[in-house]
């Protein structure tokens, strides 16, 4: 036992032929992919990342975890919030949607500290009954360096996120969707200059999410969001 809190980290399902350099006979095999920087952020904050297998029912691992990190990735299937799809830029991965909704529901049932990043924020909103703007080019900075902090974010005073980040800041922006209608029990507590929602939190549960990517920024080892997650998880464990 290390005593370090265990933070479950979600990934995505790919096929062997989507991996550069994989051999042809493995083309049809399923591969689970986890961007290492999320796990590094958890490690640097004092936790241990646990990459969650997509095929396992969360009921079988959630009560071993102390916290959860819902990560970035493809668009959530708009059918989940009752809308027709308006974009095929990042096609939905329904298996992952199912898995992460089950992980989030289990985290809610256990009051586990939970952080959402990018798609993770959007998943928290959709799971709570909210909707998304499906294509917002002004935030899709896919041509910028990933560490370039090119738009501002301001925080609602008195919110959990304002307590975590203290001051307004500049952030990177690698998302083409944003929150439209907020889900039940959620508060929008961080905003870009154009009023897009950049952060939200739950009114009563330890759930916080941001739309930018702190795991890609050079300040990651000292990022207060990873610290909040690991500290909240440690208090619980």
Site for Mn ion in 172-201 (CB under 5 A): 173
**DSSP class per residue in 34-87:** --HHHHHHHHHTT-EEEEPPTTS-GGGTGGG-SEEEE---SPPPGGGGT-----
**Which lies closer to Mn ion via its Cβ, residue 58 or residue 130?**
130
C-alpha to C-alpha distance for 159 and 125, rounded to whole angstroms: 17
Site for Mn ion in 119-148 (CB under 5 A): 139
149 included as an active-site residue: no
Catalytic residue among 93, 118, 127, 202: 118
C-alpha to C-alpha distance for 5 and 8, rounded to whole angstroms: 10
**Taking contact as CB under 5 A, which single stretch among the options 23-31, 67-75, 100-108, 165-173 is the one that binds Mn ion?**
165-173
Burial (CB count <10 Å: 0-12, 13-18, 19+), residue 106: buried
Shortest separation between residue 198's beta carbon and Mn ion, angstroms: 6
Size, binding site for Mn ion by CB under 5 A: 2
93 included as an active-site residue: no
**Which lies closer to Mn ion via its Cβ, residue 114 or residue 122?**
122
Q: Report the residue number whose CB is nearest to Mn ion.
A: 173
**Which lies closer to Mn ion via its Cβ, residue 45 or residue 153?**
153
**Which lies closer to Mn ion via its Cβ, residue 173 or residue 177?**
173
Both tokens of 194, joined, read 């154009």
118 included as an active-site residue: yes
Shortest separation between residue 174's beta carbon and Mn ion, angstroms: 8
**Which lies closer to Mn ion via its Cβ, residue 134 or residue 173?**
173
Site for Mn ion in 27-46 (CB under 5 A): none
Shortest separation between residue 141's beta carbon and Mn ion, angstroms: 8
Shortest separation between residue 193's beta carbon and Mn ion, angstroms: 10
Cα dist. 185→12, 89, 118, 126, 206 in Å?
A: 27, 30, 19, 12, 12
Strand stretches in the chain, DSSP E: 6-9, 12-15, 30-33, 48-51, 67-70, 114-117, 132-133, 151-155, 169-171, 178-179, 186-192, 197-202, 207-210
Positions that interact with Mn ion (CB under 5 A) = 139, 173
Residues with catalytic annotation?
118, 213, 215
């Amino acid at each position: 036992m290390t005593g370090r809190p265990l933070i479950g980290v979600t990934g995505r399902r790919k096929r062997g032929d989507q991996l550069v350099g994989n051999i042809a006979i493995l083309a049809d095999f399923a591969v689970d992919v986890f961007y290492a920087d999320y796990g590094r952020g958890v490690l640097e904050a004092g936790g241990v990342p646990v990459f969650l297998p997509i095929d396992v029912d969360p009921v079988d691992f959630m009560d071993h975890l102390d916290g959860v990190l819902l990560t970035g990735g493809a668009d959530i299937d708009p059918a989940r919030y009752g809308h027709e799809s308006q974009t095929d830029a990042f096609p939905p991965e329904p298996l992952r949607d199912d898995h992460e909704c089950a992980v989030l529901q289990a985290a809610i049932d256990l009051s586990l500290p939970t952080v959402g990043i990018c798609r993770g924020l959007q998943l928290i909103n959709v799971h709570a009954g909210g909707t998304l703007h499906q294509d917002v080019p002004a935030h899709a900075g896919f041509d910028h360096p990933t560490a370039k902090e090119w738009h501002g974010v301001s925080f609602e005073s008195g919110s959990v996120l304002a307590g975590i980040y203290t001051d307004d800041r500049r952030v990177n922006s690698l998302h083409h969707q944003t929150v439209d209608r907020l889900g039940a029990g959620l508060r929008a507590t961080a905003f870009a200059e154009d009023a897009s929602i950049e952060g939200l939190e739950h009114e009563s549960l330890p759930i916080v999410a941001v739309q930018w990517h702190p795991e890609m920024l050079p300040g990651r080892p000292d990022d207060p969001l990873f610290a909040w997650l690991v500290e909240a998880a440690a208090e619980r464990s």
